[in-house]
Homo-oligomer: A and B are copies of this chain.
Amino acid sequence: MKRPISFEIEKRGAGLARAGVLKTPHGEIKTPAFIAVATKASLKGIAPSQFKELGVQGIISNTYHLFLSPGEKLIEAAGGIHKFMNFDGPIMTDSGGFQVFSLGVGFGKKVSKFASNSDILSPDREVEPRGTPVLFDEDFATSHGKLAIVDNEGVSFTSHIDGSFHRFTPERSIEIQHALGADIIYAFDECTSPTADYAYQKEAMDRTHAWAKRSLAAHRQDPAKDASQGIYGITQGGRFEDLRVESARALADMDFDGYGIGGSFSKEDILGILEKVNAELPEGKPRHLLGIGEPEDIFIGAAAGIDTFDCVVPTRKGRTGCFYTHTGQIIIRNAEFKEDFSPIDPTCDCFVCKGFTRAYIHHLFRTNEMLGPVLGSAHNIYFLTKLTADIREAILNENLEAFRDEFLGAYQPA
């Protein structure tokens, strides 16, 4: 049976680098490509009608966030995520694993609603009715913070919005992603804390592999969804090279349509061993590096054989006034830009750089004008999509290393 997504390698470069085309039911992505993050089905301040102008070929949204609000049933009723947000191009949804765990760690200062394990298991407790019943395995239960508790079956967590109680299992994550209707969905995985020791990291990895199998089975058993949505498995392993390689091998043995390389919370954990991970993955399938994608990272990833990237940093920085330029990043509120009538980046062709000066954008941020964050989001997205497109061109032209040296010779990472 023809799969809903396919990948063709057009050209191989030095190392594991490759340029290719990822085909989805909603169009092609020329790779390497930067996938813009639209966590809640919205790219910060930017309407989908502007995506093409900003080089955005595809976006990635988030299962956890969309499950909490507005709910996957509502998006399904809207006709799926493409219609809901009015973007007819390729869309991915991350499985929610990262968010469940990062919220657990990130929200550690908040008072937990969990008084004890017995409290969770109490029959009086109101459990999200549409959730899978809680199958709490005390032996394996590990708290990743105040808002999430993992067991071998899944994760129980409280919403960061209203404290309501929910449960994700691999099957539930796939069910939600089926309702959302993205072109590419992800297996449910367990992200680990960077402070986790080897023993826990291995345990979590094994659990991720079991969940990957269950996610894949849950997807394949729905023929209509299996025919219209591709599924990626996610490799884990934290900062341990042997686990990273073991995880890649385990996932490679499962018949996913593509692979995500999952991070823990520090990109140093993964960038250094990307080549070894990718060497284990099937060469003909697309690889997505989850959540990592500042300029210097994209060079490392592309050289190591990554096809697509996503990262919240460009829009987060942009809307708070930190702009990428070919020489590094500038904080536009700084006094030095008050009377600077040059563009953000004179080498950039985006509408922000073609239309506005640093002085004007400085003024917008200083006076809290909404257009400032909008322009910051737009410019930084363009900067990353253009850089990644230039890396693709360099691979096609067999000069990736020269382009990297030229770019990184001028660019000073933050």
Which A residues have a C-beta under 8 Å from some C-beta of B?
40-49, 65, 69-70, 74, 77-78, 84-86, 319, 338-339, 341, 351, 355-357, 359-360, 362-364, 366-367, 369-371, 373-375, 377
> A45 to chain B: which residues have CB within 8 Å?
45, 370-371, 374
Q: Say yes or no: A367 contacts B47, CB within 8 Å.
A: no
Residues in B neighbouring A78, C-beta threshold 8 A? 341, 357, 359-360
Q: Point out the residues of chain B lying under 8 angstroms from A362, CB to CB.
A: 70
A3 CA to B360 CA, complexed, in Å: 30
- Chain B residue at smallest Cβ distance from A352: B47
In the complex formed, the residue of B with least CB distance to A48 is B355
**Is B363 within 8 A of A40, CB to CB?**
yes
Q: How far is the CA of A331 from the CA of B162 in the complex (A)?
A: 22
Q: Are B363 and A44 interface neighbours, CB within 8 A?
A: no
In the complex, what distance in Å separates the CA atom of A345 from the CA atom of B391?
A: 44
CB-CB < 8 A to A356: which residues of B?
86
The residues of B that contact A370 with a CB separation of less than 8 Å are: 42, 44-45, 319, 370, 373-374, 377
Complex Cα–Cα for A369 and B47 (A): 11
Residues of B within 8 A of A366 (CB): 69-70
Is B363's CB under 8 angstroms from A86's CB?
no
Name the residue on B nearest A357 (C-beta): B78
- Across the interface, do A40 and B367 meet the contact criterion of CB distance under 8 Å? yes
Is A69 touching B363 in the complex (CB atoms < 8 A)? yes
Does B374 contact A74, Cβ atoms closer than 8 Å?
no
Given A355-B86, A369-B40, A370-B319, A363 and B47 contact (CB-CB distance below 8 Å)? no
> Can you name the residue of chain B whose Cβ is closest to the Cβ of A85?
B360
A65 to B364, CA, bound (A): 12
CA gap between A40 and B362 in the complex, in Å: 12
12 interchain pairs (CB within 8 A)? A42-B371, A43-B371, A44-B369, A47-B351, A47-B374, A47-B375, A74-B339, A78-B341, A84-B357, A84-B360, A84-B363, A86-B356
Most B CB within 10 A of own CB, among A47, A77, A375: A47
Q: Which residues of the partner chain B approach A351 to less than 8 Å between Cβ atoms?
A: 47, 49
B44:A371 contact, CB within 8 angstroms: yes
Residues from chain B with Cβ under 8 Å of A319 in the complex:
370
| Distance of A50 Cα from B49 Cα, bound (Å) | 12
B74 in contact with A42 (CB, 8 Å): no
Minimum CB–CB distance for A411 against chain B, Å: 27
Give the residues in chain B near A49, CB-CB below 8 Å.
351, 355
Contacts of A41 in B (CB 8 A): 360, 363
Chain B residues near A357 (CB-CB < 8 A): 78, 84
The interface residues of chain B lying within 8 Å CB-to-CB of A371 are: 42-47
Further 16 A-B residue pairs, CB within 8 A, beyond A77-B339, A84-B359:
A41-B360, A41-B363, A42-B370, A44-B369, A45-B370, A45-B371, A47-B371, A47-B375, A49-B355, A69-B366, A70-B338, A70-B366, A78-B341, A84-B363, A86-B355, A319-B370
Q: Which 5 A-B residue pairings sit nearest by Cβ, starting from the closest? A: A45-B370, A42-B369, A70-B363, A86-B355, A42-B371
Residue of B nearest to A65 (CB): B367
A364 proximity list for chain B (CB < 8 A): 40, 42
Q: How far is the CA of A49 from the CA of B53 in the complex (A)?
A: 13
Given A370-B374, A373-B370, A74:B355 Cβ within 8 A:
no
Least CB distance, A252 to chain B, in whole angstroms: 37
Distance (Å) between the CB of A284 and the closest chain B CB?
Answer: 37
